[in-house]
Structure 1
Amino acid sequence: MPVGTVTRGTTNTNRLRRVDRWIAVQPQLRRASDPLVVDLGYGASGVTAFELATRLRRARPDVEVLGLEIDPARVRTATAQLEALRAGRSAFPPDLDVSFALGGFEVPTPEGRRPAVIRAFNVLRQYDEAEVAAAWGRLTSRIAPDGLVVEGTCDELGRVASWVGLGASGPATFTLSLRLTALEQPSIVAERLPKALIHRNVPGERVHELLTALDRAWRVHAPWSVHGPSQRFIRVARTLRDEGWPVRDGVRRWRLGELTVDWDAVAPR
């Protein structure tokens, strides 16, 4: 039996574009000997799996995406959508290497293959915080030795998102990604933190300190708004790095409203 609980299954076109473009540049995908990617808990429609395959094959033309859902009705719906895609009755390329199957946190794969990447988005948000560690453990036990689990959440339109990047040994990074146009303050992401952090945005916790530092830097660099919100956010990222936060990447990622730090910088106390 699939491991997990049926959740709401909300799905919107283009909702996961921010996390998809992050996955596309990760070495765990680009260097994988077997570029199998699992879209775990894709929801009421298979569109997120189609979008994921379309975006990732620009980086890995041989990428293969397997959508897994715990609800048999959702698997039937996605399979029918796939048949329409193969017949050319879809906006997606008919040759996308995508398939769908029944499955949960046990992550069943053809011939026991170990995925290079597992994306589990807007799944654990509906679980209890106490269940997160076990779910992470199941997922990381299924990936390739140098694989990646991406677990997080976003708003309904994909304008605010955050996620944890996990390797075989556990969580390694935390990323937030924001639509910068008309952004009032970066701490809006507090509403869409992963389940492991969403209840930790309180004084004394590291993630609260990060969001406080982000808001402060966002205010300080308000004059850069005349050059556009991306330039303002670039200065915010540089300020946090100068303050000692373990900020990763560089301008190419920051201009997208994306900031990644080491997991230890936000891990619950």
Structure 2
Amino acid sequence: MTRGTTNPNRLRRMDRWIAATHGAELRRAQDPVAVDLGYGAAPWTAVELLGRLRTVAPRARVVGVEIEPERVAAARPYERDGLAFRHGGFEVPVTGRPLLVRAANVLRQYDEDEVAAVWQRLCARLAPAAGGSRGGLLVEGTCDEIGRRHVWVALGPEGPRTVTFATRLGSLERPSDLAERLPKALIHRNVPGEPVHTFLRDFDRAWAAAAPYASYGARQRWIRAVRDLRADWPVTDSPARWRQGEVTVAWGALAPGTR
């Protein structure tokens, strides 16, 4: 069981990214089920996830899953159409295969060598790719207590796809400040010789080179830094996401031991 710290609006950056990048998959599904795995001591993140998903997929349903029975009982009064709470863990106790599993601040208490097995187990529960669909999505990551800094890995049924760094730009001194929020699979790899360390070093250099753009605001400086970063790193998103204080990179470029 985690500490269960659950501040309202804590996961807004992750939720907005999910709605923007996975909304089409949710809209196409007959029964788009999303799981908020390990929602914590209060149900706010599950409630908020439902509201944000329904802006892009009106039929979306959310099931909050918690390993602590008392937390499930406390959340039950918040159930309504499209929102339910279940006792469970990595087995994901829902009928069928969900199109989304969000696991925020869950794996931080585990050892690094346990992550791959957990990812594999959760990915096996996702809706499979079929008929032009890429299948379900697992989003696993870590953020600070009020959601200013967040890093997550997106995985499909086939495994990890991308890593996204997201921040409130007004609070950022340098991109490497996000290192403290790397997910468990990467946080111990932020050392010289590892790809994620090299990426954050290059991002800091691009940020420093983009300092003249700071006069137009932190957003313009971030956009310029990401544009420069693309010369050496497989950035997979567009300026529309960069404007939100995000950048997404292919997992293969940051995976441990790939450089």
Q: If the TM-score is normalised by the length of the shorter chain, which range does it land in?
A: over 0.9
User: Once superposed, what is the RMSD of the aligned Cα atoms?
Assistant: 1.1
Question: Who is 1:68 aligned against?
Answer: 65
2:50 to 48, 53, 57: 53
Within 5 Å, give how 1:59-208 maps onto structure 2. 59-82=56-79, 95=81, 97-109=82-94, 112-145=95-128, 146-208=135-197
Is residue 30–residue 59 contact of structure 1 (8 Å, CA) maintained in 2? yes
Within 5 Å, give how 1:208-227 maps onto structure 2. 208-227=197-216
1:267 maps to amino acid:
A
2:14 maps to amino acid:
V
Look up the SS of the partner of 1:25 in the other structure. helix
1:215–1:50 distance in 2 versus 1, CA, 3 Å: same
Provide Cα deviations, 1:190-248, integer angstroms capped at 9, x if missing partner.
1010000000000000000110111111111011011111111111111011x221001
Is residue 24–residue 30 contact of structure 1 (8 Å, CA) maintained in 2? no
Residue 255 of structure 2 corresponds to residue 267 of structure 1: yes
Q: What CA distance in whole angstroms lies between the structure 2 residues aligned with 1:54 and 1:222?
A: 37
Question: Who is 1:38 aligned against?
Answer: 35
Question: Who is 2:131 aligned against?
Answer: none
Structure 1 residue 81 displacement after superposition? 3.4
Q: What CA distance in whole angstroms lies between the structure 2 residues aligned with 1:177 and 1:244?
A: 20
1:133–1:30 distance in 2 versus 1, CA, 3 Å: same
Is residue 23–residue 29 contact of structure 1 (8 Å, CA) maintained in 2? no
Q: What CA distance in whole angstroms lies between the structure 2 residues aligned with 1:42 and 1:132?
A: 19
Is residue 27–residue 59 contact of structure 2 (8 Å, CA) maintained in 1? no
2:17 to 22, 27, 38: 22
Residue 2 of structure 2 corresponds to residue 10 of structure 1: no
Q: What CA distance in whole angstroms lies between the structure 1 residues aligned with 2:71 and 2:2?
A: 11
Structure 1 residue 30 displacement after superposition? 4.0
1:257 to 238, 245, 255: 245
1:250 maps to amino acid:
S
2:41 maps to amino acid:
A
Q: What CA distance in whole angstroms lies between the structure 2 residues aligned with 1:141 and 1:31?
A: 21
- TM-score, normalised by the number of residues in structure 1: 0.90
Q: Percent identity?
A: 60
2:154 maps to amino acid:
G
Q: What CA distance in whole angstroms lies between the structure 2 residues aligned with 1:132 and 1:247?
A: 24
- TM-score, normalised by the number of residues in structure 2: 0.94
Structure 1 residue 267 displacement after superposition? 0.1
Look up the SS of the partner of 1:166 in the other structure. strand
1:215 maps to amino acid:
D
2:229 to 240, 256, 260: 240
Q: What CA distance in whole angstroms lies between the structure 2 residues aligned with 1:195 and 1:72?
A: 25
5+ long unaligned stretches in structure 2:
129-134
